[in-house]
A = this chain, B = another copy of it.
């Protein structure tokens, strides 16, 4: 099973999102070639997971509508905008194996390109003519920003716990996956119960997805990740595996020593090694699977459909993926 196979039921829909992206970039080709180049660079690649979720959730209830396409486009644009700002903040050089906007065009233009993408995302959301998803859009952007601000606050802090970790990943990742499935259900005309079911599905999927992301940051290869191994910890962000290591060795551990600025290179190497050899990865996966299973179980109440099966398969796949 790979993503392409999983996305088969919404393949044409996803091609339409790519069509929207192409139009978005092409619009500026003559009048503002620099903006065109930046958009061409950033609007490709990625898992296009958020639009897939929106389409699949919509199809669990009803067929395709033009409004769902608009919202799916908005959801992916918001995601890309947050990535552009994240990379500017982290001063990251690569993303998805490609050079970042901030590295190519500078932090200044990355900030403005992100703002531009937020604006276009908002326009796509409002173009659904549905106030509920338009409000959800702004609320979600606010939640993401607060999640990111909490992460920035906690950077290089040794006093962290599971509650704070979950709060952060709920904000920075689960909120957008929740919006992606929820908005599909709203625009397909789902009942309030169906909407809440798919919203909760997306939320739990988001938690599982981010935990796996945080695991892969330790066990993936640089080639698979498209960025250096242990990037999060290097940036001072304590994710689940690092947190578990700190909890297992409360008196002294390489993560705390790294955060305190002691022998950074040596301690980060030790942290990665101990995380990989201590059963922490397995424990982290169990945590991710807990949310993934919860997401799958939530779907039971929905009528049988190809897309319902695809959403289940997606939740299973996302905890098994390698990148």
A contact set with B: CB distance below 8 Å: 32, 34-35, 82, 85, 88-89, 107-109, 111-116, 118-123, 125-127, 129, 131, 134-135, 137-139, 141-142, 144-146, 148-150, 152-153
Task: Name the distance in Å between A308's Cβ and chain B's nearest Cβ.
Answer: 30
Contact call B119/A141, Cβ cutoff below 8 A: yes
Chain B residue nearest in CB terms to A132: B126
Q: A240: shortest Cβ distance to chain B, in Å?
A: 22
The dominant DSSP class at the A interface is: helix
Instruction: Report yes or no: A113 in contact with B32, Cβ–Cβ below 8 A.
Output: no
Cβ–Cβ < 8 Å partners of A85 in chain B: 111-112, 115
Judge whether A108 and B89 touch: CB under 8 Å.
Answer: yes
Question: Which residues of B lie under 8 Å from residue A145 when comparing CB positions?
Answer: 112-113, 115-116, 119
Contact B35–A116 (Cβ < 8 Å): no
Task: Please determine whether A149 and B35 come into contact, CB atoms closer than 8 angstroms.
Answer: yes
Which of B35, B111, B121, B139 touches A146 (beta carbons < 8 Å)?
B35
State whether A111 touches B88 (Cβ < 8 A): yes
By a CB distance below 8 angstroms, the chain B residues around A134 are 126, 131, 134
